[in-house]
């Protein structure tokens, strides 16, 4: 039986207050962390390319470079993922890697003129990127306190409309809205 949890706009407002405190404080600089997350995505891609190049050329020296890049990626990822449990570290790394790959696939589709398929890839990429931030900013709780599962709908009571209404949003939609508001790369 699927359970849903009702989130009010006050829940989002409380969460945003916490994010703003972190932005102003010394805990998080979200604009820098967003830049750092993109750099980490690229380091993961470099690791992949070094792996394939080592195998295609037969030169083991590429593995030495892979090791160095991996160590740098681990060090930088630790700057964003300060606390984690279980496999959240690896989940976070794979969310960034998958987001980057889907972004690249979408870009290639744009080049081929397939805009609709590109937009679908970009949406999936952004969903994974939003989930990364949701996990690492504490918006997603996997300890039983939040019953919503990926793909399930949660109800958001919206007071942005003149008449309060119930709007169904997926977990990805809610996280995407959170990222739009919380992780602003244009903050100086």
Read off the pLDDT band of 143 (50, 70, 90). low
Q: Is residue 69 part of a domain?
A: yes
Which carries the bigger pLDDT value, residue 107 or residue 155?
107
**146 in a structural domain:** yes
Would 1 be classed as within a structural domain?
Answer: no
Query: How large is the average pLDDT for residues 55-76?
Result: 97
Instruction: Encode 69-103 in three state secondary structure.
Output: HHHHHHHHHHHHCCCCCCCHHHHHHHHHHHHHHHH
Mean pLDDT value of segment 114-136: 91
- Residue 90 in any domain: the answer is yes
pLDDT(34) > 80 = yes
Q: Which of 23-32, 82-91, 151-160, 177-186 has the lowest mean pLDDT?
A: 151-160
Instruction: Take residue 92 and report the two structure tokens written for it.
Output: 């976070």
pLDDT the model gives residue 179: 58
Beta pairing class for 165-170 and 153-158: antiparallel
Q: Which domain holds residue 100?
A: 6-182
Residue 137 in domain: yes
Residue 84 domain-assigned?
yes
Mean pLDDT of 162-186: 55
Residue 82 pLDDT: 80
Q: Is residue 174 part of a domain?
A: yes
Provide the number of structural domains found in the chain. Answer: 1
Question: Does residue 188 fall inside a structural domain?
Answer: no
Mean per-residue pLDDT, 156-180: 52
End-to-end CA distance of the chain: 46
Q: Which of 129, 126, 121, 43 is nearest to 92 (CA)?
A: 129
Q: What is the pTM of this model?
A: 0.67
Q: How sure is the predictor about 83, in pLDDT bands with cuts at 50, 70 and 90?
A: confident
């Amino acid at each position: 039986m699927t359970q849903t949890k009702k989130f009010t706009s006050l829940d989002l407002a409380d969460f945003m207050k916490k994010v703003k405190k972190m932005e102003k404080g010394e805990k998080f600089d979200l604009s820098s962390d967003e830049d750092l997350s993109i750099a980490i995505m690229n380091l993961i891609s470099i690791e992949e390319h070094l792996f394939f190049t080592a195998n295609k050329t037969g030169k083991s020296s590429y593995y030495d470079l892979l090791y160095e890049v991996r160590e740098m990626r681990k060090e930088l990822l630790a700057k964003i993922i300060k606390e984690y449990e279980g496999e959240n570290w690896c989940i976070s790394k794979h969310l960034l890697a998958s987001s980057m790959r889907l972004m690249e696939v979408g870009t290639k589709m744009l080049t081929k003129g397939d805009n609709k398929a590109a937009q679908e890839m970009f949406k999936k990429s952004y969903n994974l990127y939003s989930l990364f931030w949701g996990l690492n900013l504490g918006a997603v709780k996997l300890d039983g306190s939040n019953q919503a599962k990926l793909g399930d709908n949660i109800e958001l009571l919206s007071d942005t409309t003149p008449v309060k209404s119930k709007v169904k949003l997926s977990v990805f939609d809610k996280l995407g809205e959170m990222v739009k508001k919380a992780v602003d790369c244009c903050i100086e």
